Amino acid sequence: MKMKTIMLVCAAGMSTSLMVSKMKKAAEAKNMEADIFAISASEFDDTLASKEVNVVLLGPQVKFMLKQFAPKLADKNIPIDAINMQYYGMMNGEKVLEQALHLIEG
Protein backbone atom coordinates (compact mmCIF):
# COMPACT_ATOMS: atom_id res chain seq x y z
CA MET A 1 0.00 0.00 0.00
CA LYS A 2 1.29 3.40 -1.01
CA MET A 3 1.97 5.99 1.66
CA LYS A 4 -1.05 8.20 2.37
CA THR A 5 -0.65 11.87 3.25
CA ILE A 6 -3.51 13.21 5.36
CA MET A 7 -3.69 16.90 6.21
CA LEU A 8 -5.92 18.08 9.05
CA VAL A 9 -6.81 21.76 9.17
CA CYS A 10 -7.99 23.54 12.30
CA ALA A 11 -8.06 26.97 13.88
CA ALA A 12 -4.80 26.79 15.86
CA GLY A 13 -3.64 23.17 15.77
CA MET A 14 -4.02 22.24 19.43
CA SER A 15 -6.88 19.75 19.69
CA THR A 16 -6.21 18.54 16.17
CA SER A 17 -2.65 17.57 17.12
CA LEU A 18 -4.17 15.10 19.61
CA MET A 19 -6.31 13.70 16.77
CA VAL A 20 -3.15 13.33 14.66
CA SER A 21 -1.57 11.20 17.42
CA LYS A 22 -4.66 9.00 17.64
CA MET A 23 -4.80 8.60 13.85
CA LYS A 24 -1.09 7.69 13.69
CA LYS A 25 -1.67 4.97 16.30
CA ALA A 26 -4.61 3.64 14.26
CA ALA A 27 -2.48 3.63 11.09
CA GLU A 28 0.32 1.75 12.90
CA ALA A 29 -2.20 -0.84 14.10
CA LYS A 30 -3.15 -1.41 10.44
CA ASN A 31 0.54 -1.57 9.40
CA MET A 32 -0.20 1.38 7.15
CA GLU A 33 2.32 3.99 6.11
CA ALA A 34 0.79 7.41 6.62
CA ASP A 35 2.01 10.97 6.91
CA ILE A 36 -0.66 12.57 9.09
CA PHE A 37 -0.22 16.16 10.19
CA ALA A 38 -2.19 19.20 11.34
CA ILE A 39 -1.90 22.80 10.24
CA SER A 40 -3.74 25.99 11.04
CA ALA A 41 -6.13 27.35 8.43
CA SER A 42 -3.75 30.24 7.73
CA GLU A 43 -1.07 27.75 6.58
CA PHE A 44 -3.36 26.04 4.06
CA ASP A 45 -2.14 27.67 0.83
CA ASP A 46 1.58 27.46 1.67
CA THR A 47 1.35 23.84 2.78
CA LEU A 48 -0.59 22.85 -0.32
CA ALA A 49 2.03 24.54 -2.52
CA SER A 50 4.94 22.76 -0.84
CA LYS A 51 3.56 19.31 0.00
CA GLU A 52 1.68 16.63 -1.88
CA VAL A 53 -1.40 15.53 0.05
CA ASN A 54 -3.98 12.80 -0.64
CA VAL A 55 -6.84 14.16 1.45
CA VAL A 56 -7.74 17.21 3.55
CA LEU A 57 -9.93 16.98 6.65
CA LEU A 58 -11.24 20.08 8.41
CA GLY A 59 -11.67 20.24 12.17
CA PRO A 60 -15.12 21.23 13.43
CA GLN A 61 -13.84 24.74 14.28
CA VAL A 62 -13.11 25.50 10.60
CA LYS A 63 -15.65 23.38 8.73
CA PHE A 64 -17.26 26.64 7.56
CA MET A 65 -14.13 27.09 5.39
CA LEU A 66 -15.01 24.04 3.28
CA LYS A 67 -16.51 26.20 0.52
CA GLN A 68 -13.39 28.40 0.53
CA PHE A 69 -10.88 25.51 0.35
CA ALA A 70 -12.70 23.04 -1.94
CA PRO A 71 -12.14 25.02 -5.19
CA LYS A 72 -8.39 25.16 -4.48
CA LEU A 73 -8.32 21.34 -4.37
CA ALA A 74 -10.69 20.51 -7.22
CA ASP A 75 -8.11 20.76 -10.03
CA LYS A 76 -5.68 18.66 -7.97
CA ASN A 77 -8.28 15.90 -7.38
CA ILE A 78 -7.72 16.11 -3.62
CA PRO A 79 -10.85 15.22 -1.64
CA ILE A 80 -11.85 17.45 1.28
CA ASP A 81 -14.42 17.04 4.03
CA ALA A 82 -15.15 18.08 7.59
CA ILE A 83 -14.23 15.59 10.29
CA ASN A 84 -17.30 13.83 11.67
CA MET A 85 -18.23 15.79 14.84
CA GLN A 86 -18.93 12.67 16.88
CA TYR A 87 -15.58 11.08 15.98
CA TYR A 88 -13.79 14.34 16.71
CA GLY A 89 -15.52 14.82 20.05
CA MET A 90 -14.57 11.30 21.10
CA MET A 91 -11.05 11.70 19.63
CA ASN A 92 -11.67 8.49 17.68
CA GLY A 93 -8.53 8.37 15.52
CA GLU A 94 -9.49 5.05 13.97
CA LYS A 95 -12.83 6.34 12.66
CA VAL A 96 -11.32 9.59 11.37
CA LEU A 97 -8.59 7.58 9.62
CA GLU A 98 -11.31 5.43 8.02
CA GLN A 99 -13.08 8.61 6.92
CA ALA A 100 -9.88 9.86 5.29
CA LEU A 101 -9.17 6.55 3.55
CA HIS A 102 -12.76 6.35 2.30
CA LEU A 103 -12.38 9.81 0.73
CA ILE A 104 -9.04 8.89 -0.90
CA GLU A 105 -10.44 5.69 -2.37
CA GLY A 106 -13.55 7.50 -3.56
10-residue averages of pLDDT along the chain (106 residues): 90 85 97 96 95 96 96 95 96 98 93
Arch. (CATH architecture) of 4-105: 3-Layer(aba) Sandwich (3.40)
- Cα–Cα dist 81/69, whole Å: 10
Per the CB < 8 A criterion, the answer to whether 8 and 37 are in contact is yes
The pLDDT, as a whole number, for residue 1 is: 60
The pLDDT, as a whole number, for residue 106 is: 82
Task: Decide if 69 is catalytic.
Answer: no
Domain residues of the chain, as ranges?
4-105
The full 3-state SS of 52-79, as one line of letters, equals CCCEEEECHHHHHHHHHHHHHHHCCCCC
The pLDDT, as a whole number, for residue 2 is: 81
The pLDDT, as a whole number, for residue 13 is: 64
Query: Rounded to two decimals, what is the model's pTM?
Result: 0.95
- Sheet strands (E) in 1-106: 4-10, 34-40, 55-58, 80-82
The active-site residue out of 6, 7, 9, 10 is 10
The pLDDT, as a whole number, for residue 16 is: 87
Position 29: which residue type?
A
- Closest Cα to residue 4, out of 37, 28, 33? 33
